[in-house]
Amino acid sequence: MRHLVLFDIDGTLLWGGPAKEAFHLALLEVFGTAGDIESHDFSGKTDPQIARELLEGAGLPSGTVDHGLPSLFRAYLRELEARLPDDPVTVLPGVPELLDVLGAMEDVALGLVTGNIAGGAELKLGSARLGERFAIGGFGSDSELRDDLPPVALERARTRWAVDFAPDRVWIVGDTPRDVACAQAHGLRTLAVATGRFDADALRATGADRVVDHLGDTDAIVEVLVP
Residue, CB closest to Mg ion: 11
Residue type at position 44: G
* Positive/negative CA dihedral, 200, 37, 122, 44: positive
Say whether 86 sits in a helix, a strand or coil.
coil
4, 6, 11, 138: residue in contact with Mg ion (rule CB under 5 A): 11
**Complex with Mg ion: residue 51 or 65, whichever CB lies closer:** 51
Give the shortest CB-10-to-Mg ion separation in angstroms.
4
End-to-end, the C-alpha distance of the chain in Å comes to 14
Binding span for Mg ion by CB under 5 A among 8-16, 61-69, 116-124, 131-139:
8-16
Q: Which stretch binds Mg ion (CB under 5 A): 32-40, 62-70, 87-95, 168-176?
A: 168-176
Residue of 175, 188, 191, 192 interacting with Mg ion (CB under 5 A):
175
- DSSP H or E run through 158: helix 149-161
CB of residue 81 to Mg ion, shortest distance in Å: 21
Cα separation, 112 vs 133, whole angstroms:
10
DSSP-assigned letters across all residues of 162-202:
-----GGGEEEEESSHHHHHHHHTTT-EEEEETTSSS-HHH
Tell which positions 198-217 bind Mg ion, by CB under 5 A: none
Measured from the CB of residue 33, what is the shortest distance to Mg ion in angstroms? 25
Residue 47 sits in the site that holds Mg ion (CB under 5 A):
no
Of residues 3, 5, 7, 10, which one binds Mg ion by CB under 5 A?
Answer: 10
One-character DSSP codes across 101-150: HHHT-TTEEEEEE-SS-HHHHHHHHHHTT-TTS-SEEE-TTT-S-GGGHH
Q: CB under 5 A: which stretch of 60-68, 80-88, 174-182, 184-192 binds Mg ion?
A: 174-182
Residues 101-130 that bind Mg ion (CB under 5 A): none
Give me the half-sphere count of Cα atoms (radius 13 Å) on the Cβ side of residue 43.
Answer: 19
Residue 8 makes contact with Mg ion by CB under 5 A: yes
What residues make contact with Mg ion under the rule CB under 5 A?
A: 8, 10-11, 175
